[in-house]
Structure 1
Amino acid sequence: MNYRHAFHAGNFADVLKHLVLSRVLAHLSLKPAPFRAIDTHAGLGFYDLTADEAGRTAEWIDGWGRLAEPFPPAVEDLLSPYRAAVAAVRARHGPTIYPGSPALIREALRAGDHGVFVELHPDDAATLRARYNGHARTKVLHLDGWTALNALIPPPERRGLVLIDPPYEVLGEIDRLGAHLARAVAKWPTGVFLAWYPIKDRAAVDRMVAVLDAALTRPALRLDLMIDRPDDARLTGSGLIVVNPPWRLAEEAALFLPALAERLARSDYGAFRCAALGPAA
């Protein structure tokens, strides 16, 4: 439990993860029936980009910082829920704040919707509890995220999403992600699942995706964003598996992924992948 997201808040991986999360939340909000959003590895909720941790790495400058200039209108339309949520969080907590996934979820909740934020690190869980347990629509649990993934589904609302974003400190956690995700989908076949992974060990990611593809009984998308040339010695990209994606998400990804790959590229290399998985592939 050494990983602390405060050092990496707002980086290129957060941009992809939070943009897709915001798109899914926007789609869920189109129907009046309430939904539940579960974040299994929630962190602190939000982060100050002027704090010591973010200042040491300055990763946000080449992530969220590169989104300062607008994209073409079609892409900006897709980014608008993400940008609006960041602005709302900053209005609440200060102009240098960058929201983690709990803060983005909190901004999307309507009357009747609920957010459940799970965090194992004791200090981070205490901070998260102080920030969100006072809200009627949010609840914080100090619990192992993998345990929570099994225990909290299916939710009473029957609609909603689960974000799985582990720190990947443990050997073999990529394979663990695929196994746990397949079991969770079998338990809640209609839920939307977003599972984030770093792209460093490409063979491990491809192996996990192949096994998951064969096991899934529901449609899914693989969304990858590469911001540097493949290099198994360092992080050069990240990705998301989205199970039961909203019906237009693949079409949307075909617009925002190439735009992000161009804007967030470290040098002269940016790439992306949008591939169907599961029985509809």
Structure 2
Amino acid sequence: MNYRHAFHAGNHADVLKHVVLLAQLDALLRKDSPFFVLDTHAGRGRYLLQGEAAGRTREAVGGILALAGRKDAPPAVARYLHAVAANNPVDTLLAYPGSPLLAAQAMREQDRLAACELQPEEAAELKALFAHDNRVAVHARDGYDAVRALLPPRVDGVRYARGLVLVDPPYEAQDEEYPKVAAAVREVLQRWPQGGVAIWYPVKQRRSLQPFFRKLAGLDARSVLLAELMVRPDDSPLRLNGSGMALVNPPWKLDEAIAPALAYLQKHLGEAGASTRLEWLRRDDG
């Protein structure tokens, strides 16, 4: 595996993913009972925006750096911007928090996070980041295998009825990855039906997504919601034109929370021909 997220940290795809992730975590925080988060492809947890990798691609310029400091953002985006700013000096953006760090900073003392990372160097950095946080367990292992090993979640004798599984693989070979993702989601639903699943996916070739969406719609789930941000027209397979989050059993009214966020991100991150999508593949109105 050659993928390193440091080259893409803070880009438009990260912005979408983390706005939606924090909205989901905030929904979990509305109840006092503890929750559990499994991050299957966690990365190193924190990325330097001025580092060699991020500085070379400068993808953050079309992502977090285009939004930082804005005061007109809708609640879900403002929440995200506040979380990113909390990892940096005042009025400066030096570092970008990855999904496990954003999750850990949102959690309470009773909540738990299992963060999985297969690449040795990334896993070592992740372990160092959370070395003194007893709420977080870092696993240097395959995230798909962790679904079978760690669910249903039980930590220190406590069973966690509520929570979220974040599936965010690198998609180096997209056609090979989607069946793995669908199988993992099916496993989550069988082992932990109360849990939700959030899947990030790239949009490069739309046709490759259709079989994946059909599989998600056919799962034994209460609901499946798609939230997409296209920063340019879907007309080239050679670049990341946009990305989406497929949300299986999302929290109640999450679509209403992220709808204004999508419109805002399209306006401030999109080029000519940018668009958004918020669509239910399956919905339980009961």
- Band the TM-score falls in, shorter-chain normalisation: over 0.9
Aligned length, in residue pairs? 277
Is 1:129 aligned to 2:133, yes or no? Answer: no
Residue in 2 that maps onto 1:241: 246
Given that residues 221 and 242 in structure 1 are in contact (C-alpha distance below 8 angstroms), is that contact kept between their aligned partners in structure 2? Answer: yes
Look up the match of 1:157: 160
CA distance in 1, matches of 2:61, 2:150: 36
TM-score w.r.t. the length of structure 1 is 0.93
TM-score (norm 2): 0.92
Q: In the aligned structure 1, how far is the partner of 2:257 from the partner of 2:274?
A: 18
Q: Does 1:169 find its partner at 2:172?
A: yes
SS at match of 1:47: strand
Aligned residue among 211, 225, 230 for 1:226: 230
Q: 2:256 aligns with which of 244, 248, 251?
A: 251
Query: Who is 2:17 aligned against?
Result: 17
- Any stretches of 5+ residues in structure 2 without a counterpart? 154-158
Q: Which runs of 4+ in 1 moved over 3 A?
A: none
1:262 Cα offset (Å): 1.7
Distance 1:71 1:215 in 2: 40
CA shift for structure 1 position 69: 5.2
2:49 is the counterpart of 1:49: yes
Q: Distance in 2 between matches of 1:154 and 1:71?
A: 41
Q: CA deviation at 1:81?
A: 2.5
- Aligned partners of 2:238, 2:8: CA distance in 1, in Å? 18
TM-superposed CA distance for 1:261, in Å, is 1.3
Provide the identity percentage: 41
CA contact (8 A) 1:178 1:209 kept: no
Verify the 8 A CA contact 1:43 1:128 in the aligned structure 2.
yes
Matches within 5 A, 1:1-281: 1-68=1-68, 70=70, 72=72, 75=74, 77-90=75-88, 95-155=93-153, 156-170=159-173, 171-231=175-235, 232-265=237-270, 267-280=271-284
RMSD over equivalenced CA pairs, Å = 1.8
Report the alpha carbon displacement of residue 187 of structure 1 after superposing the two structures with TM.
2.1
State the Cα distance separating 1:71 from its structure 2 match.
6.0
Name stretches of at least 5 consecutive residues in structure 1 with no aligned partner: none
Which digits, 9 at most, give the CA deviation of each residue in 1:118-146, with x for residues without a partner?
Answer: 00001111111111132111110000011
1:80 deviates by 3.0
User: In structure 1, the residue corresponding to 2:2 is in which secondary structure?
Assistant: coil
Secondary structure of 1:215's counterpart equals coil
Paired residues of 1:228 and 1:269 also in contact (CA < 8 A) = yes
Q: Is the Cα contact below 8 Å between 2:68 and 2:81 reproduced in 1? A: no
Kept in 1, the 8 Å contact 2:216–2:224? The answer is no
Q: How far did residue 90 of structure 1 move?
A: 2.1
